[in-house]
Structure 1
Amino acid sequence: MSIRIVLTHYLATLRERDELDALLPELLVAMGHTVLSRAQIGVPQGGVDVLSSFAAPGGAEEAFLFVLKFGDITRDDLYRGAQAIQPSVREASTEYVRNRLPPNLRAGRKRLVVLSNGELKQAAQGGFSTLADEVGGQAGCSLEFWGIDKLATLIEEHLLDESLLLKAGRDHLRAAIATLDDSEAASRHFRQFVDVVFNPAATRGAATAAATQRHAFLKRCAIAEMGWAVFDIWSQSESNLKPSVEGGEYLLLKLWAEAVTSGAVDDARFVARFEGFKERLWLAMVRYCGKVWAQLQDPHLVMGYAGHEVFYNRLVLEEAGRLGLLLLIPPHTAELQPARAATRGRLVALFNAHPGARLPALDGQAIDLSLALAGLMSEGDFASAAMLVRDIVNRMSLAVQSERLMPVSTDLVEDAIALREGAVNAAAVCRTSTIVPMLAAVAAFVDDEAALQSIRDNLVPLMPEVTLERWYPNADIDRIAASRIVALPGVSRGLRSIEATCSAEATAAASIPVGAAVPADIACVQHGQTALLAVSARVFRHPLPTWYLELFRRAQTREAAAGSEPAGPEEA
């Protein structure tokens, strides 16, 4: 599959003009232009949406005045309506050039460009030619059309160019699109595409000057985001949104990790790009959850698709974790509150529809559960969080007694199935538990003494041979995506017991052992991007730090602990 074809499809399926407004400045910067003004809504712009300048080697500086139009251009688009092209072009070639163009550009060549992600239809070509002749009568002015084919060519040459993206990267992007009928394969290929984009070995003539390196890094970010945008659009056309969401989660972490490594986290250009991508990813996640919701709330459909209770359990908890993540990523604003409320409602409804999923089959599903519980707590729904903890504890107590339904600490689906079929002994595959300490911490943070007592007095005594563990990250936790890791960067601590009160358990859960990082030592926390830890937990399958869960602690327990000294590092 040709990259040109992929790009043409991407451009043709852009649904909003805002997407075209955002794309053009990226492309111009990659082409070596200086962008002087960008498209704005509700602001008189003299017919010009985007203004840039470009000086070819040894040549004079030229002004590029872009008039943006969405979709194919017909004869009516030239002359009729509030967005008609002819009035905009005339205003740009006269009033704008005379009064708004920077003085240093007025004497040089002025190239007016009507830019569209569609085509100039045959019926409009004669009128456009006449308009071009009219513009050409103005001193130094010319008019041209950049349509979908021109844009695809420029993007391929300048944003997906060979100097920053070698054949391997292009092949992985093509493969990701070609395998969209297989979510796992598509996600894997897209990750490989992202890794190639940020791999220094994939660069010809690596830059040495700091400013040049920063420019190269920002260009890599643009390439990776463009690749994801293409992948996302194609995922929508193939009606399989999951690989796009999973690829976007990985790319978000990769962007941040590479920015930390390269010292770009405070660069205003990176921050604007990163925040914009985070918002687009959140919208993609909302779109995905909306698409699968009708099927997801039907237990018979989900079980029929999964085929076995262990796979069913894993699927439901994975989606519960994703809904929790949807509540943890965006800010608490009045504008987003309706969407947040709807997501919280879906999360509660999901657990109500699938009671069987309230008994994890794998100990690693503590990650998905903690994301869901953190999401509920972030919305102040402590009642639902407490009820969910109680129900899971009750089911786990019965599971431990049966010895065939315990969450396996190997996190292997094969072991969970074998345990249920009696083909393996529980003692061999259920040696540690992160679920129980996580549930105890949440019970403490929501101030549910009854739930904590049930864990301490009923569940834990049934598990004398199981080691209870909590995991705490070190300062490299938000840089996992920048390197190939052998082991998760953090410290595990075994628990001797569950504390007697919620206050004591909350303090114990949030205390930091020696060798782990205090939150302020982690770059994403320092820069107000703490939610990246939740994304990282989902993508790299590490436990959600208990101090992250404490951020959503119930008010009265937070106030009760306010008088005590903050917990610092302690011996494991």
Structure 2
Amino acid sequence: MKLLLKQYLASLRERDELDVVLPDVLSAIGFTIISRPMRGTSQFGVDAVAIGPHFRTGKKALHLLSIKSGNLTRAQWDDGKQALRPSLAEIVDVYIETRIPPRYKDLPIVIALCFGGDIQEDVRAQVKGFTDRNSIEGKLEFAEWNGDEIAGFMLSGLLREKLFPKPMQGSFRKALAFVDEPDVCVAHFTALLSQILSAANDDHQSRIRSARQIYLAAWNVFVWARDAENLDAAYRAGALSLLWMWSLCREHVVGGKRAKELANVVENMISLFRLAAHAYFEQHVLPYADIEDGLGVSVRPSDSVDVNLRLFEALGRVAVHGLWLLQLRERLAASGDDGIPEVEEELRKTLDVITSTFSNNHVFCEPLRDDHAIEIMLVGIFLVQCGLSEYFADWIEEVIGSSTYSYRTNGHYPCILRDYADLAAHPKDVEGYREEVTAGSILYPTLAVWLAVLERDDAVVELGAFREKHMPHSTFQLWVPDETSEQHLYRNCAAHGTGIAELALDDPKKLLASVIKEITEAPEFFELSAVNLACGLSC
């Protein structure tokens, strides 16, 4: 286990990775975190500050952390502005003299040299010479926290608190071993999440420990998947972790000091998921967006169904990435932060990817699964907020045209099948088969509602006529949450919600009015904790 953790730490980058994980590790083993890494302000060599036991005496001491990634080489020691030696000199010459709050002035100081790997032997003498010259026994001393030491913190502290008890360690190891086989990895990771939540008790310490378990497990999968250059497992594990952690913490993230502690872990998990989503976008989508059928070829399919399923999956992920960016832009604007241009550039890139992939991959007009309505809904919410309503409406009309034509000609029309083998064999020329696999639909009514909202009334009426002539057997319906959704939504552990089935596709205005009425009379959506609480988090 220690070797796994050390390899994980050595793979972390400095910014937004090791400097995020390390304070959480220290907090979990009893340190009090005074400050965390910040962007945009000079910290004079200090990445984080913590109060904890002195490494020699065990008495309370002020720890000033200077954090670097990987191994400490000669270049990383004394070459450039980001080198460790200049940072340590700034701590000694400036930070200690001017930045330590008065209430901590009397504490002995430990400057911790933190890195995920090891000190290379050709630089150890220089490091020792610097620390010996600047040490004052009992007042100012230096500690080396390399990957082995930090992994030891995890084992002696977090694992002593049963962060990964033995029954969980099997699932954890298997998830890491199969990061290049995403389905297998996610199966073991889901088993680990189930074990973590099953072991959680209804008290703060148990909840915070379980949340940290989830967070650390997701970090490990992300780093190992990144090294394997297959971020599908990392994305899925991150999404599951965020949802399961929210299920665990949602009733306890508002209130006093304990609630803030729990909310911080949730915020860190949100940041990790966004990091995994951005990495997935950059590695698995962006390079292929401008190439004709590029995304489809990148899937390396064994069957055409692979292309359809994987591309709609990727489309939904890109849309979610864009929605997070919109939320981030809103928060930065509210706080007056100067990072908005970077977010705007990332939004532009995301929009370009969606429009390019639509142009270069005709499969996006031919959804195979009826529940691809979910990905289409996500894309719609994103594009409409970005001012591309007409573009989105044109795409919807193409989807309807291709899908209804495929149904009439017994082609690859949308169906309610979920199993891969069944989808690969779809369609079948068997009596009653079409009626069976289209017994219900959320796809067509979702498209109809969007067209009604975007005032494409003629297209709605045409879809209604198609349904009446060719699919009268199918129950067109929309899903809305009910009073049980809050309990089951995040872990998808039971059926929940209710359906709106009486939809007037022959009258767009009546259709829209009926949907609005249902939403107005069913307030459960606005009572979901993810809606009325998550917006208060700082990520």
Same fold (TM over 0.5): yes
Alignment partner of 1:500 is 2:503: no
| Equivalent residue, structure 1, for 2:110 | 111
| Equivalent residue, structure 2, for 1:363 | 370
Shift of 1:26: 0.9
Alignment partner of 1:522 is 2:528: yes
Change (3 A) 1:458 1:215: same
| Matching of residues 165-184 of structure 1 within 5 Å | 165-184=164-183
| Equivalent residue, structure 2, for 1:274 | 266
State the number of aligned residues: 517
| Equivalent residue, structure 2, for 1:299 | 293
CA RMSD of the aligned region, Å?
3.3
| Equivalent residue, structure 1, for 2:332 | none
Shift of 1:321: 1.9
Is this contact kept in 2: 1:443–1:451, CA < 8 A?
yes
- Distance in 2, matches of 1:14 and 1:446, equals 46
One-letter code of the match for 2:368? A
| Equivalent residue, structure 1, for 2:34 | 36
- Distance in 2, matches of 1:410 and 1:83, equals 54
| Equivalent residue, structure 2, for 1:561 | none
Q: Deviations for 1:356-388, whole angstroms, at most 9, x for unmatched residues?
A: 442322222222222223332232211221112
Q: Deviations for 1:3-58, whole angstroms, at most 9, x for unmatched residues?
A: 322222222222334423222221211110112233445645465443322259x9
What SS is found at the alignment partner of 2:325? coil
Shift of 1:179: 1.0
| Equivalent residue, structure 2, for 1:446 | 454
Is this contact kept in 2: 1:62–1:111, CA < 8 A?
yes
| Matching of residues 371-390 of structure 1 within 5 Å | 371-390=378-397
| Equivalent residue, structure 2, for 1:238 | 228
- Distance in 2, matches of 1:344 and 1:76, equals 40
| Equivalent residue, structure 2, for 1:14 | 12
| Equivalent residue, structure 2, for 1:540 | none
One-letter code of the match for 1:51? V
Gaps of 5+ in 1: 532-572
Is this contact kept in 2: 1:253–1:478, CA < 8 A?
no
Is this contact kept in 1: 2:488–2:494, CA < 8 A?
no
| Equivalent residue, structure 2, for 1:337 | 344
Is this contact kept in 2: 1:47–1:92, CA < 8 A?
yes
One-letter code of the match for 2:250? V
| Matching of residues 62-211 of structure 1 within 5 Å | 62-74=61-73, 81-82=80-81, 85=84, 89=88, 92=91, 100-101=99-100, 105-161=104-160, 163-200=162-199
Is this contact kept in 1: 2:294–2:360, CA < 8 A?
no
Change (3 A) 1:339 1:479: farther
- Distance in 2, matches of 1:409 and 1:86, equals 62
Aligned with 2:244 (options 254, 257, 262): 254
Change (3 A) 1:300 1:111: closer
Is this contact kept in 2: 1:90–1:135, CA < 8 A?
no
Change (3 A) 1:124 1:438: same
Bigger relative contact order, structure 1 or 2 (CA pairs below 8 A, ≥6 apart)? 1
Change (3 A) 1:393 1:97: closer
One-letter code of the match for 2:283? K
| Equivalent residue, structure 2, for 1:224 | 214
Change (3 A) 1:46 1:504: same
TM-score, normalised to structure 2's length?
A: 0.84
Change (3 A) 1:522 1:450: same
Is this contact kept in 2: 1:361–1:407, CA < 8 A?
yes
| Equivalent residue, structure 1, for 2:204 | 214
Aligned with 2:488 (options 480, 487, 494): 480
Is this contact kept in 2: 1:327–1:378, CA < 8 A?
no
| Equivalent residue, structure 2, for 1:326 | 321
One-letter code of the match for 1:384? Y
Shift of 1:472: 0.9
